[in-house]
Amino acid sequence: MKFLSFTLLFCALSMPALAGVLPGEEAPDFTLTDTVGNEHQLDSYLQDGKIVVLEWFNPDCPFIVKHHKKNKTMNEAYAKVKEQDVVWLAINSSAKGKQGYGLERNQKAVKDFEMPFPVLLDPTGEVGLSYGAKTTPHMFVITPDGTVAYNGAIDDNSSVATLGKTNHLLAALHNLLQDNDVKIAETKPYGCSVKY
Amino acid sequence: MLTSETKDRIESRKIMLSIYCSGNPSPHLPKEQAMKTRTGFLAVLFTVLLAAGLAAAQVDMPYEVPHVPVAATTINQLDETFLVLWHLSPPEDWHLYSDRLNDSGFPPALTLQWPEGWSAGPLQWPMGERHVMKGGILDHVYFESVTLLQEIQVPPNSFADGDVTLSARWDWLVCRDICVPGFTQAEIVFSRSKPSHVDLEKQAKAWRALPHPVPEGRLEFAWTESTVTLLVRDTELMEFHPATDCIRLVDAIVDGAREGDTLTLRVRPGSDISTSLRGVLQLTKPDGSFDNWTVDIPYGG
């Protein structure tokens, strides 16, 4: 009984986080600082007509290692779209004391993974919770009008070792870049839990 | 910080290296024997380097690398039918994932090349526990050892040459505040010998932990356009663990557990109405005992 009471209390506390943002909904604006001290504001990218990709990130999660170290899924995907007004932001919402937290750890990850895009630090988890980010990785695509166009997994293989046959994120981006609706706008993300 | 054991290993490594780099291990030995000695040195050197490397690698590890032992018990049910009990044991404080709907992680996966003509039924998973984390993250996990059941059909005369031993691989992910993937290679022996009393007890216990079909007339339900309400009389607590192909729910955390005999689940607008409410319902009865029922209720709103 105690467990249930605790669970329900916990759920109540977590309520605002549960909504998340679904495809078609407005993306919450944020301003976060990256590992070299630069500020990034979502709205300013959108006002410049950019499509923004958000990748929830934790350098010590095995699924992030799968896509950033064992394979270069994210770097290669970014290389395919970076010339087409696409901005890619990795966001780390690990709280202090949790896995993947900290400026130095993420500076090292940027270097080790040879990341061509910035890692933004969100130690309070405010941005992660506002998006309903649940896993690392968890991908979002936002169109210049501020609408979420894709929410979900990077690809269709949720194992920790094998890459998927379909890269859902790239498929969504290709749809958008050809001025089409995103055919698959939502999938189930997979990975480690975000360490709020 | 280096442990004294690591320092010892590094010192041994330095000594071995200086011996080998000094040239012929012993100029007084015949050439062939000297070659053998050198090969031996190389083997020892390699082993020591490997051990030192592993020890050094573990120095920075903030946790003991977890491992999930897997044991298999086979029980001959009928002539050509076996029941396999797969026992997976996560380390203390770590958890494994069930095959039900999880926001993170993944359930253990079995890879086994069955002999020609053998057929394996699906793995049967017992009830897990709801694991709620900050951020509205819900998983269904096993915090302790878990036993999965699997029925195997073998062709006649499979045991003409005696027992059959197979090798299985289990890939798993264990998590606590961090997640670590790994795999375990397990041996499984099929024998026609009569099952032991202990094995039969294990089977009975594993069977009781599985979800079972709803007894006739015990579950009442009602759909509206966007909700389904489940009623099971004489129940103190209800929990619903959605299957991976369950109709999409608005909030499985808030709606999925309730004190009392009624549980109302909200269905997400725009869900595929050709799907069903699928999953497992756990009922806590007034005497504290549990019932686990498999639920599959077509959308009726």
CB contact under 8 A, B132 and A196: no
Chain A residues within 8 A of B133 when measuring between CB atoms? 193, 196
Q: Is A192 on the interface with B (CB under 8 A)?
A: yes
B61 has a pLDDT exceeding 90: no
Q: How far apart are CA B77 and CA B216, in angstroms?
A: 27
The pLDDT of residue A20 is 79
Please tell me which residue, B32 or B265, carries the higher pLDDT value.
B265
Q: Supply the pLDDT for residue B60.
A: 47
Residue A174 has pLDDT above 80, yes or no: yes
pLDDT digits (tens, 9 = 90+) for B145-191: 999 999 999 999 899 999 999 999 999 999 999 999 999 999 999 99
The residues facing A135 across adjacent strands are A193
What are the boundaries of each domain within chain B? Answer: 4-209, 212-298
Q: Do A4 and B237 touch (CB under 8 A)?
A: yes
For residues B94-108, average pLDDT: 97
Residue A8 pLDDT exceeds 70: no
Query: What is the helix (H) or strand (E) element at residue B6, kind and residue range?
Result: helix B4-21
Give me chain B's average pLDDT, please: 84
Percentage of chain B lying above the pLDDT 90 cut: 71
- What Rg value do the Cα atoms of chain A yield, rounded? 16
Q: Which two tokens stand for residue B278?
A: 């699928």
What whole-number distance in Å separates Cα of residue B51 and Cα of residue A165?
A: 38
Q: Give B11 to chain A, closest Cα distance, Å.
A: 30
> Tell me, what's the pLDDT at B64?
79
Higher pLDDT, B78 or B57: B78
Percent of chain A surpassing pLDDT 70: 90
- Domains belonging to chain A, first-starting first, are 23-193 (3.40.30.10)
CB atoms within 10 A of CB B38: 16
Question: pLDDT digit string (tens) for B255-270?
Answer: 999 999 999 999 998 8
Strands A119-121 and A192-193, sheet pairing: unpaired
Q: Could you tell me the end-to-end alpha-carbon distance of chain A, in angstroms, rounded to an integer?
A: 26
In chain A, where does DSSP find H-type helix?
2-19, 42-47, 62-65, 73-81, 103-112, 126-131, 168-177
* Paired residues of B242 in beta bridges: B279
Report yes or no: A86 and A50 within 8 Å, Cβ to Cβ. yes
Report the complex ipTM: 0.86
Instruction: Assign 3-class secondary structure to B14-70.
Output: HHHHHHHHCCCCCCCCCHHHHHHHHHHHHHHHHHHHHHHHHHHHHHCCCCCCCCCCE
pLDDT band at B94 (very low <50, low <70, confident <90, very high): very high
**pLDDT mean over A82-96:** 97
- What are A71's two structure tokens? 């394979």
Which chain A residues are closer than 8 Å to B248 by Cβ?
none
Confidence of residue A158 (pLDDT cuts 50, 70, 90): very high
Question: Residue B284's CB: how many other CB atoms inside 10 A?
Answer: 17
Percent of chain B with pLDDT over 70: 79
Q: What is the pLDDT of residue A4?
A: 44
pLDDT computed for residue A94 by the predictor: 98
Whether CATH 2.60.40 fits B212-298: yes
- Confidence at B202, pLDDT banded by 50, 70, 90: very high
Does residue B299 have a pLDDT over 70?
yes
Pick the residue of B99, B179, B272, B282 with the most A CBs within 10 A to test the interface with A by mutation: B179
Distance CA A67, CA B35 (A): 46
| Residue of A193, A195, A196 to mutate, testing the B interface (most B Cβ within 10 Å of its Cβ) | A193
Do B4-209 and B212-298 share a fold? Answer: yes
Q: What is the pLDDT of residues A94-145, one digit of tens each?
A: 999 999 999 999 999 999 999 999 999 999 999 999 999 999 999 999 999 9
Q: Domain spanning B4-209 has what CATH number?
A: 2.60.40.10
Residue B57 has pLDDT above 80, yes or no: no
Residues of B within 8 A of A12 (CB-CB) are 254
| Structure-block tokens of residue B94 | 């770590």
**Closest residue in chain B to residue A11, using alpha carbons only:** B254
